[in-house]
Amino acid sequence: MPRFLVTWLLTAISLLITAYFVPGFAVRSFVAAMIAAIMLGLVNAVVKPILVLLTLPLTIVSLGLFLFVINAITIWLAGAITPGFDVAGFLPALLGSIVLTIVTSVLNFFFSDAV
């Protein structure tokens, strides 16, 4: 199975697990999670580099902690443009970005042979 398909599936599963643990972070179905994974990838590829560049001084002053805010903004934006993937505000997006990172890392560790 191609690497990008495994990554896509693991991200969709990570979104479902994150939605289970984070209040205000909702994914209605597995299909919605798969679409949200695509949209999150697109937002991370297009919007996130622009945000990182524009907020570079703030990121440097905060010793990189502002990147958590940028991750939350990208998840919030993906939730706003993806049907079936709802993020109820900034705080669920921030907590969701942290949980999503942890869950994705754990899944990638266990499925590193497939990826």
Tens digit of each residue's pLDDT, the chain (115 residues): 688 888 899 999 999 999 999 999 999 999 999 999 999 999 999 999 999 999 999 999 999 999 999 999 999 999 999 999 999 999 999 999 999 999 999 998 988 775 5
Q: Exposed (0-12), middle (13-18) or buried (19+): which is 64, by Cβ within 10 Å?
A: exposed
Q: What pLDDT was estimated at residue 20?
A: 95
DSSP state of 24: T
DSSP state of 2: -
Q: What pLDDT was estimated at residue 4?
A: 83
Q: What pLDDT was estimated at residue 115?
A: 52
Q: What pLDDT was estimated at residue 13?
A: 95
Instruction: Tell me how far apart the alpha carbons of residues 80 and 77 are, in angstroms, rounded to a whole number.
Output: 5
Domain-wise residue ranges, the chain: 3-104
Q: What pLDDT was estimated at residue 1?
A: 61
